[in-house]
Amino acid sequence: MTQIVPVILCGGSGTRLWPRSRASKPKPFLPLIGERTIFEETLARCAPFSGPIVVTGAAHLPHVEAQLGTIDAAIVVEPKARNTAAAIALAALRLPEDAVMLVCPSDHHIGDPTAFAEAARKAAALASEGWMVSFGIEATAPETGYGYLKRGEPLDNCGFRTAQFVEKPDLERAKGFLVEGGYDWNGGIFAFQVGRFLGELEAHAPGIAGPVREAVTNGHEQGRLFHPDADAFGKAESISVDYAVMEKTGQAALVPARMDWSDIGSWESLHMARDKDADGNSVRGKAELVDCRNVLVESDGPRVSVIGLEGVVVVVDGDEVLVTSMDGAQKVGKLDGAANQ
Amino acid sequence: MTQIVPVILCGGSGTRLWPRSRASKPKPFLPLIGERTIFEETLARCAPFSGPIVVTGAAHLPHVEAQLGTIDAAIVVEPKARNTAAAIALAALRLPEDAVMLVCPSDHHIGDPTAFAEAARKAAALASEGWMVSFGIEATAPETGYGYLKRGEPLDNCGFRTAQFVEKPDLERAKGFLVEGGYDWNGGIFAFQVGRFLGELEAHAPGIAGPVREAVTNGHEQGRLFHPDADAFGKAESISVDYAVMEKTGQAALVPARMDWSDIGSWESLHMARDKDADGNSVRGKAELVDCRNVLVESDGPRVSVIGLEGVVVVVDGDEVLVTSMDGAQKVGKLDGAANQ
């Protein structure tokens, strides 16, 4: 039976969830939805598979090690951030050629882990046949912030050939996809057979494959940590795996995944993912709400009293207070505070 | 020439400006509009007249003494709060019979102190003829939170006989007053000749006059402080001067005062009284506003970032954060935090 190895990518800054998410403790390491952090949730839903490889930077390493607890994981420490293609390549070069990598971002919420595991098994089955597999997230709204995957011919009752990769569309086009049907969101979750992935990378992105291979060859181990060579890794092109490989391979496939997914990409989407009371309010910390609907309150200490508001987010975190409309939540990352942490 | 003695009433809790206004440091002692506190503003606009008498409770005494600075004032310390009629009677019994008391709340903002002084001189002129004079505040909106004064026959080019006292009307009636004209708001500012006031009080409110007279007779001085006898004062009825005297006297008059008055009765009215930028926003403390209109921000420390809101108040004060719509600001006093300070 094929070995399925979760490759958990722990990069990302989560500035749109500022001020709760800070450079010093970003989004994956915060308990944003339940009692566990998003990284801990990711580990838990990968538990049915082999011990994971976590790819992360030195800055996040203390959080990763603290939250891994007793989980038997290998950790690859990126000398610097070089986007997803290089990060996945680092993991690939530490694994047997016939293993299947289950590539998971560590900053997504998945409400139905069982559905995730089922989709992962289907994706792994296709991957071990040589397909380069994306998870297709159900497109429930005409989002313009995601890429879309167009389904092609069915494959073995497991998924579909990917007929087309569509970069972030405009609203008109996104609406068209929903009407037309057969489109999924590209959620950045993948299954690749290790040897196949490395072959595709050599073919389509030699500017990544070469430097990363050198970085691993010249790297060194330190307990469960592996440190690739920094100079070599720094020469790798910084491109996403979508651009570097998926849009170029002739073997792209997708597995539809209906698993209550959220990328928690803003306070609005966090609010949607959280449990709410009858008025649609979700509260963490000390708060009193009067005449409020669809309000999110999050406080790390001070009491927050809110009166007569609808569709508003209030976040109190240390020396920062954020108050935004749900629409405005998209602009949080551009605030002075979020930009200059 | 008649001596005009400001009688400054320093009671009140200002719970509708919570959490900035707290039981331990209420509204009059905060710099809510300009750089001076509301109490300091009150003292400054009374400077053209005699040294004032301040009537206050023991709890506020430290703030009163600190903010009086070098002003030559007498202070009467109320043993307990017994509403305005008894408070004014305390001051009256410490003054010569022929002086005119200019009774001023210490928690109002008056943007035009010159107009105030002019109105005060007219009111004093009528008072020294024996009239019991209210200041008539220009009714600029159909407010239901104020009493109204109906103008009667003109008096000496100074003011009008008060034809009727109207308690807080409903909205329909308040709108009618504005259409009809000839109505002013009752702002709780008065001019009384001391002897006349005491005579009216004896006649209409013996349950106040007797106990307060006894409290003053049995009181004691302590430097510039005067302490009325607590047992006697406690027996005085707790009624406003409007109910106790003004609505009963046959000698009620009013002087129209157009002086940019605000009772700063809520965060909304504070926002109206403050200077604002081109988008109608007013900010105190560290803040960043994006796509905001008509927003008030007040912070005693943390930075406040606001995105995409209109007509919202954000107040950060120590361990409390308040976020309210302008309409909701009326309910601030009923919040748990404000009610249980």
pLDDT tens per residue across span B7-55: 999 987 778 999 999 988 899 999 999 899 999 999 999 999 999 999 9
**pLDDT one-digit tens code per residue, A295-310:** 999 999 999 999 999 9
Whether the Cβ atoms of residue A80 and residue A55 lie closer than 8 Å to each other: no
One domain, residues A121 and A26: yes
Nearest to A337 among B288, B301, B309 (CB): B288
Of A205, A227, A262, the one marking the end of a domain is: A262
**What is the predicted pLDDT for the residue at A268?**
95
Residue that is last in its domain, among B208, B236, B262? B262
| Interatomic CA distance for residues A287 and B282, integer angstroms | 25
Please report which residue ranges of chain A form alpha helices under DSSP H.
Answer: 38-45, 61-68, 83-92, 113-128, 171-180, 194-204, 206-217, 230-234, 241, 267-273, 336-339
Predicted local confidence at residue B1, as pLDDT: 67
Using a CB–CB cut-off of 8 Å, the residues of A that contact B are 19, 288, 290-291, 299, 301-309, 312, 314, 316, 318-325, 327-329, 331-332, 334-337
What pLDDT is stored for residue B337 in this prediction?
A: 87
Q: Do B328 and A309 touch (CB under 8 A)?
A: yes
Token couple for B19? 């959490």
Same structural domain, A245 and A281: no
Residue B6 corresponds to which tokens in the numbers above?
């400001």
User: Could you tell me if B228 and B76 are in contact, meaning their C-beta atoms sit under 8 angstroms apart?
Assistant: yes
- For chain B of 341 residues, list the mean pLDDT of each consecutive stretch of 10: 92 87 92 94 96 96 95 96 96 97 96 97 96 96 94 92 95 96 96 98 97 98 97 96 95 96 93 95 97 98 98 97 96 90 76
Cβ of A314 within 8 Å of Cβ of B320? The answer is no
Test the B interface: residue of A281, A291, A299, A305 with most B CBs within 10 Å: A305
CB pairs under 8 A between A and B: 121
pLDDT number for residue A252: 97
Torsion B54-B56-B61-B63 (CA) sign: negative
Per the structure, the count of domains in chain A is 2
- Based on the fold, state whether residues B125 and B212 are members of the same structural domain: yes
* Residues of B whose CB is below 8 A from A312: 309, 312, 323
The maximal CA–CA distance of chain B, rounded, in angstroms, is: 62
Tokens standing for residue B29: 């002692």
**Residue in A307, A325, A335 closest to B288 by CB:** A335
Q: Tell me which residue in B290, B291, B337 faces A305 most closely, judged by beta carbons.
A: B337
Strand pairing of A159-166 and A225-227? unpaired
Same domain? For A214 and A322 the reply is: no
Residue B302: cis peptide before it, omega within 30 degrees of 0: no
Assess whether B55 and B119 both reside in one domain: yes
B197 and B229 part of one domain = yes
**Are residue A309 and residue A220 in the same domain, yes or no?**
no
In this structure, the number of other CB atoms found within 10 A of the CB of residue B25 comes to: 15
Give the pair of three-digit tokens for residue A2: 């094929």
Q: Give per-residue pLDDT as tens, A210-231.
A: 999 999 999 999 999 999 999 9
pLDDT at position A341, please? 76
Residue A332: burial class (beta carbons within 10 Å; 0-12, 13-18, 19+): buried
Copy the structure tokens of residue A337.
């505070």
For the domain that residue A70 is a member of, what is the CATH number?
A: 3.90.550.10
What is the model's pTM? 0.89
- Chain B residue whose CA is closest to A291: B328
Low-confidence ranges of chain A (pLDDT < 70): 1
A162 and A18 in a single domain? The answer is yes
Give the three-class secondary structure for B328: helix
CB contact under 8 Å between B324 and A304, yes or no, is no
Chain A residues within an 8 Å CB radius of B283: none
Distance from the A281 Cα atom to the nearest Cα atom in chain B, whole angstroms: 15
Best probe of the A interface among B300, B305, B309, B335, by most A CBs < 10 A, is B305
- Give the 3-state DSSP-derived string for chain B, with helices as H, strands as E and coil as C: CCCEEEEEEECCCCHHHCCCCECCECHHHCCCCCCCCHHHHHHHHCCCCCCCEEEEEHHHHHHHHHHHCCCCCEEEEECCCCHHHHHHHHHHCCCCCCCEEEEEECCCEECCHHHHHHHHHHHHHHHHCCCEEEEEEECCCCCCCCCEEEEEEEECCCEEEEEEEECCCCHHHHHHHHHHCCEEEEEEEEEEEHHHHHHHHHHHCHHHHHHHHHHHHCCEEECCEEECCHHHHHCCCCCCHHHHHHCCCCCEEEEEECCCEECCCCHHHHHHHCCCCCCCCEEECCEEEECCECCEEEECCCEEEEECCECEEEEEECCEEEEEECHHHHHHHHCHHHHCC
For residues B317 and B246, state if they share a domain: no
Q: Is the torsion defined by CA of B190, B194, B200, B202 positive or negative?
A: positive
Largest Cα span, chain A: 62
One-letter amino acid identity for B316?
V
Q: Does residue B103 sit in the same domain as residue B207?
A: yes
Same domain, A192 and A276: no
The dihedral built from the CA positions of residue A44, A45, A49 and A50, taken in this order, carries a sign that is negative
Q: Which residues of B touch A19 (CB under 8 A)?
A: 305
Residue of B321, B324, B332, B341 for testing the chain A interface, max A β-carbons within 10 Å: B321
Question: What is the DSSP secondary-structure string of A295-318?
Answer: -EEEESSSEEEEES-BSEEEEEET
Q: Note whether B201 and B295 are same-domain residues.
A: no
Contact B319 A307 (CB under 8 A): no
Among B240, B262, B284, residue at a domain's last position? B262
Pairwise CB contact (< 8 Å): B303 & A321? yes
Structural domain for B325, as ranges = 267-339
The predicted structure's pLDDT at residue B319: 95
